[in-house]
Amino acid sequence: MLLHDESPAAVEAREKNFILGTYNRAQFHPRSGKGAQLFDAEGKAYWDLLGGIAVNVLGHKHPRLVKTLKQESDSLLHVSNLFYHPAQGILGERLVRESGLRRAFFCNSGTEANEAALKFARLVNPGRAGIVALEESFHGRTLGSLSMTGHEAYRAPFAPLVPSVTFVPPNDVASLENAVTEETCAIFLESVMGEGGIIPLSDEFLIAARKLADKTGAVLVFDEIQCGLGRTGKLFAFQHTSVVPDIVTLAKPLGGGLPLGAVLTGDVVEGVVKPGHHGTTFGGNPVACRLGIAVLDELKASTLIQRVKTYGDWFGRQLDALKAKVPAIVEIRGKGMMWGIELDRPAGPVVKELLAKGFIVGSARDRVLRLLPPYIVPKKALTEFMDALCRTAALGCPTTQTGEGACPTPNKEKAA
């Protein structure tokens, strides 16, 4: 029997009995996809404006990824890290050259990348325990990454966690200056905070973090798991500023949909990580690395990152225009293909209503709609989304009127 033939009811019933209840899944059963669209079990089409939470940057079923996967599946699927295979080195070299850092370590997920970064920082600064992270940050669910995650509700059930983590408010330079001392082992920042509700960190804040790290010897780690690899209109989000971190962590889009994370390390880590200090059975798997190379090839060969910037600027202006007309929208924040729409009410019902209308969006914190569309998303999907958003009953908008003028349709300005 083809798994795709299972009815949604049968899928849900089996999960209810056998899958641990860590997720509140939406009642949505995507079965296939193409480009920026997903199709459910009944064949209904949805614009995917969440991209598997920032993973599917090339959309679904991208020909380059499909071709690579087919070729690689005929080769070795796994060799372990006891032996060599060419793909890790090739992908590592590409990431190092693009970032200006020195070396790469591969793992399987974002949280693992941050765990590794934390361990590497401890090796750079032996005996120093302090970590400075941000309120509302998100670095992952394993114990080290969770300890640096600035959501009390996520951390509380698992206390005691890794000690000596100080949280400071995003973009508050004075608090950062107070928190970073000679005892600080590492500073962990997301250049654009994702789960925290899409909060771009200011250049001033990032520059202050670099200066404090230089002054105290703390290792400056940028978690670019959500905002990296083209999402903000540059390959690395830190490249919007003059700041170069000591370590960058990556995951989400890196493996083209397969699990792959990476830690890129700079000069301060040179020579401190020795065989036996860290490792993973699957990390840097040949197939995932080949897909990683294909993702970078596609980003390079196409003008996608430039498109992210141009369309992102246009979309930001359109969202601002929408905010001026929809009272329930409190603030628009973001960059490139990473946008948060802060509401004056819970985002959950809006997300649900949009899904029923054929738009997949996420939420962050309680009141933020989160958009992380694939970089290939057509302009049509974004304009249709804005039309749908301002006809959403959960936002108190009129839903019965249709056509021009019924809804505060954004400007007719064209994306360049």
For residue 249, the minimal CB distance to ligand PLP (Å) is: 7
Per rule CB under 6 A, is residue 246 in the interface with ligand PLP?
A: no
Burial of 143 (0-12, 13-18, 19+ CB in 10 A): middle
Residue type, 411: N
> Is the N-terminal amide bond of 160 cis, ω within 30° of 0?
yes
User: Residues near 28 by Cβ (< 8 Å), separated by ≥ 6?
Assistant: 40, 46, 355, 360
Nearer to ligand PLP, 39 or 154 (CB): 154
Per rule CB under 6 A, is residue 225 in the interface with ligand PLP?
A: yes
User: Residues near 129 by Cβ (< 8 Å), separated by ≥ 6?
Assistant: 163, 164, 183, 185
| Residues 295 to 324 in contact with ligand PLP, rule: CB under 6 A | none
- Helix, strand, coil share of the chain (percent; to 5): 40, 20, 40
Q: Of 41-49, 181-189, 220-228, 265-273, which part binds ligand PLP (CB under 6 A)?
A: 220-228
> Do the beta carbons of residue 322 and residue 408 sit within 8 Å?
yes
Q: Which of 33, 51, 52, 140 binds ligand PLP (CB under 6 A)?
A: 140
Nearer to ligand PLP, 144 or 410 (CB): 144
Residue 294 is inside which H or E element, if any? helix 286-301
For residue 310, the minimal CB distance to ligand PLP (Å) is: 25
Nearer to ligand PLP, 157 or 405 (CB): 157
DSSP 2: -
Nearer to ligand PLP, 197 or 312 (CB): 197
Per rule CB under 6 A, is residue 125 in the interface with ligand PLP?
A: no
Nearer to ligand PLP, 88 or 111 (CB): 111
Per rule CB under 6 A, is residue 368 in the interface with ligand PLP?
A: no
C-alpha dist (Å) from residue 204 to 173, 239, 260: 8, 14, 32
Nearer to ligand PLP, 111 or 363 (CB): 111
**Phi and psi dihedrals of 191, rounded to 5?**
-55, -40
Question: How many residues sit in the footprint of ligand PLP (CB under 6 A)?
Answer: 15
Q: Which of 223, 246, 298, 353 binds ligand PLP (CB under 6 A)?
A: 223
Contacts with ligand PLP, residue ranges (CB under 6 A): 53, 109-111, 114, 138-140, 190, 194-195, 223, 225-226, 251
